[in-house]
Structure 1
């Protein structure tokens, strides 16, 4: 990971289904690098069960990166294999690392049915059987007729899975079925008694053939794309022991550092600590509790106690393995985990993840570029915060270094200073308020120094005293980023544009 590196999630759930994303990225890579983005988390690049419209989480053929005519399209939602590889090359040429979204929990859209004996279990307690085993018909035979044996001759059958949620004999049958002689994995989240099953055809990671094929695919993917790491989907539903072995195998094959971050969706810090422990620190985790703190703070306005904004978070308690974020494709409006961070609070949230020393921050595509989309009769507009994020990225690149002094002593007004290091001696001061604004004395270790607010929310400078303390200010419901300078310099000049 690059020091003061910043990741961007370069997609959202409603990214256009016109195959343009890879080409767009190739065009934008140099721009993003200049702004301070050092890594991109790209969406699942392989063919999903709905072909060119699939976001990618309903994975069908992991070997089809937009190359074969399958599921009524050659390209994926984001483009063709050729465009994908060109986008990766453009990003890496700009100095940006690429993290691929990996979906290994399930497969969907099987090519043929198989009859198998299975036992129905309850959705809210997968350990509770709802009746006797019976024969069901399931889409568990994956033959990939459009690809054939190219890259892999492996064909999936029912015994490579442990459970499904469909029965082609009766499409009104919505039960979860545990397949014959199968058992749910034990080293998964214990919610619902056992949260191994999430959707579709759930991979049986205790099956040697399944593990072998997934490992061979991972090696092929690394050799084909030359990615720099992984975003691992739905890890709470997958054997933790499997991921320990899989990540070890991928790193051994690559013979280089491979970053990994897991999506363990749980607003409970102890659960995240346990997962980090059982996986031996092999992957970072998204800081889900921090996201929910942002969500709650944005909904409560000035009634939220900002002194507690970092409480119970990975950023606070396990910062070296925390990937911090404000929103993502699952939390955005109309999605499964919708927990919106209101627009007014997003500059404060981004300042918290981008300008502190803890965590590895991730910027969300619609928060940067904005987004408009419709779904289920709703019209949604997500505001662009590019101007604020650009300021924070600039400050992160040039000023956010060295020791950190925190001033979390007022429920409506918090701040911190970064004191700089040998290569970046200037430092900065950050002050934010979710209420009426105010002033706070903070130590900078820069005596008799003039500081200006990069956000330009406050025009008047602050001059520190003889021992390096300054009385910094911010307006209500906003954040100010104070950096030292001899005279006022318009921000566009600082960026060199």
Structure 2
């Protein structure tokens, strides 16, 4: 797979409010993906990251992160509905098959940290010997014993955040329990799963094998992975990967804004197949949006630019958590300016696997511009890579030299946070002497010729909207 790209196929507000009115087809996401499979593949995407497909506590309204029953993919009448927010199990399997037929791989968003929407409560003893009435009984009456006979009670959990008897919120750790060995604080929300309990650990790993071998998925995105037991993440990857001949792909959502901490997290889990989202790089894009980034050092930002971890970084601009309508509960700032500069950066670079956000692609009207960058990545982004010596605080240039396996490849990527509305010119050595280049984005109309030493004066518009250019060789 050359220059792979991930498409995140959902966003938080999908099929709600104004989005339900403007995009009614998104009410049945599995069917929509099946219908668009050929088009998605033709654009150049390789992986599709699907939302959690299992039954959530809020039924058909659940985005998927309120995990109730992992084994119910829209097949059983539970939580007031048979289907999930995105469709039925039958529709999901059909979509996966259609996507596979078009050469696409599919990633499952696995929410393994907690369960919500318990069927009943029980009285348990807490660590301090007091008692609490907690929602920890999961009977799964709609599913019965199909796929798994395991029913859940307090014994498979470490603790909860609510005592029904006293109507108090907090972190209630059960007697004879300890929080799991997670990278950061183990408790996040709901009924926190105890992965020291081998019964629930085995059941979840068996579920992972089922998702791959029976439903057809090609890998997983682990939600809130830094709060899940490190050993569980390691063993899940190990055992599920061994259950198939597929080359599975795994991504952890360890939301930390330090590249060094992300690297330490990967070392702690100790599983070489695990990738992580590059949140530190996105923090640099926020600064670029604000016009406060020193562009000279952009080539050093994020996990994607750290030696020994470059190939384990999943680069992105926005996702369902970072970009939401209204006030974001995570306190993140949506990237509303110079977003295309950020996408240009991740799509042209040699390292990392870039991700495109469905809401940007469709709802925000960036499809045409993103398609152009994706095409540039697939056609020209090959060969050695390096930063230009002419980079300054506001303008950044990055070169791909091209290679013999891809005739006519190579590029000069320029992005700027200047907004003077002038044309910025930079001397760049492309490694290709006496070669004509044109701007694949169409922002600059003229062609540029490099001299005998491979130097050329390359240009980019100093505007927020068009402050990115991808210069590629003119065909002979």
Length-normalised TM-score, structure 2:
0.92
Partner Cα separation in structure 2 for residue 161 and residue 231 of structure 1:
22
* Aligned 1:29-428 pairs, distance under 5 A: 29-119=37-127, 132-171=128-167, 173-189=168-184, 195-280=185-270, 281-299=272-290, 301=291, 303-317=292-306, 318-333=309-324, 334-370=327-363, 383-407=364-388, 409-426=391-408, 427-428=410-411
Equivalences, count: 454
Task: Please say if residues 299 and 387 of structure 2, whose CA atoms lie closer than 8 Å, have aligned partners that are also in contact.
Answer: no
**After superposition, what is the alpha-carbon deviation per residue over 1:292-317, rounded to whole angstroms, capped at 9, x for unaligned?**
11112212x2x421123344411110
C-alpha offsets along residues 16-50 of structure 1, whole Å, 9 cap, x if unaligned?
16741111111111111111101100000000000
Q: Larger deviation: 408-417 or 50-59?
A: 408-417
Deviations 1:192-228 (A, max 9, x none): xxx1010000000111111111112112222221111
In the TM superposition, residue 94 of structure 1 has moved relative to its aligned partner by 0.9
**Alpha-carbon distance between aligned partners in 1 of 2:182 and 2:138, rounded to the nearest angstrom:** 27
Residues 429-465 of structure 1, C-alpha deviations (whole Å, 9 max, x = no match) = 1111101451111122333222111111111111111
RMSD of aligned C-alpha atoms?
1.5
**TM-score scaled by length of structure 1:** 0.89
Question: Retained in 1: the 8 A contact 2:439–2:445?
Answer: yes
Change (3 A) 1:76 1:19: farther
Q: Which residue of 1 aligns with 2:6?
A: 7
Give every structure 1 segment of 4 or more consecutive aligned residues whose post-TM-superposition deviation is greater than 3 Å: none
> 1:326 deviation in Å?
0.3
Quote the residue 1:480 is aligned against: 469
Instruction: Give SS of 1:248's match.
Output: helix
Aligned to 2:15: 16
Distance in 2 of aligned mates of 1:63 and 1:140: 17
Cα 1:335–1:67 change in 2 (3 A) is: farther
Give the Cα–Cα distance (whole angstroms) in 2 for the partners of residues 288 and 8 of structure 1: 17
**In 2, distance between residues paired with 1:229 and 1:335?**
29
- Separation in structure 2 between the aligned mates of residue 343 and residue 34 of structure 1, nearest angstrom: 28
Q: Hey, what's the Cα distance between the residues in 1 that align with 2:181 and 2:241? A: 25
Distance 1:305 1:456 in 2: 26
3-state SS in 2 of match to 1:71: coil
Alpha-carbon separation, structure 1, partners of 2:59 and 2:52: 12
Q: Per the alignment, do residues 53 and 167 of structure 1 end up closer, same or farther by CA in structure 2, a change over 3 Å counting?
A: same
- 2:39 aligned with 1:27: no
Is 1:429 the counterpart of 2:429 in the alignment?
no
CA distance in structure 2 between the aligned counterparts of 1:97 and 1:34, rounded to whole angstroms: 14
Report the equivalent of 1:446.
432
Displacement, 1:93?
Answer: 0.9
SS, match of residue 335 in structure 1: coil
Matched residue SS, 1:213: helix
Q: Relative to structure 2, which stretch is displaced further, 205-214 or 430-439? A: 430-439
1:486/1:421 CA distance change after superposition, 3 Å: closer
| Aligned-residue offset at 1:341 | 4.1
Ranges in structure 2 where 5+ consecutive residues have no aligned partner:
17-25
Does the C-alpha gap of structure 1 residues 342 and 19 become closer, same or farther in structure 2, counting only changes over 3 Å? closer
Per-residue deviation, 1:486: 4.6
| Secondary structure at 2:10 match in 1 | coil
Aligned-pair CA distance for 1:57: 0.6
Structure 1 unmatched ranges of 5 or more: 120-131, 190-194, 371-382, 488-497
Partner Cα distance (1:431, 1:223) in 2: 44
2:134 & 2:118 partners in 1: Cα distance?
Answer: 9
C-alpha contact (below 8 Å) 1:419/1:425 kept by paired residues: no
Q: Which moved more, 1:247-256 or 1:348-357?
A: 247-256
Partner of 1:466: 452
SS in 2 for 1:309: helix
